[in-house]
Amino acid sequence: MKMFSRREEDFVCENCGAKVIGNGYTNHCPQCLYSKHVDINPGDRSADCGGLMEPVDIELKDGKYSIIHKCKKCGFVRKNKVSDQDNFEAVLDISRNKTAKLKY
């Protein structure tokens, strides 16, 4: 069973309105880091949900950052790699906001 399908698609972010040029691995908006729940396995476009995937946390493992997305519609959670095109300030903001929430 194939677990990844490369799809080179452009899209307009449903959260911030940014026009995103896809490279076949693009799975979230590089400006606000939101994604969309369209896949069961990356690139297959088999999910029926279609909800916005909010970036809720950042994970650092072996020197590489990943964004933890959670679907606002159904609660599905998926991890996506941070790319070189991503707004790293937005990545840091998610990390800071998560840390601030944990303090209370």
How do residues 11-35 score in pLDDT, each as one tens digit?
A: 999 999 999 988 877 889 999 999 9
For CA atoms 103, 59, 65, 70, the dihedral sign is: negative
Q: pLDDT at position 7, please?
A: 74
Q: What is the pTM of this model?
A: 0.84
**Token pair 């076949």: residue:** 24
CA 88 to chain centre: 13
Look at residues 27, 93, 84 and name the one whose alpha carbon lies nearest to residue 56: 93
**CB-hemisphere CA count at 13 Å for 58?**
20
Contact 54, 72 (CB under 8 A): yes
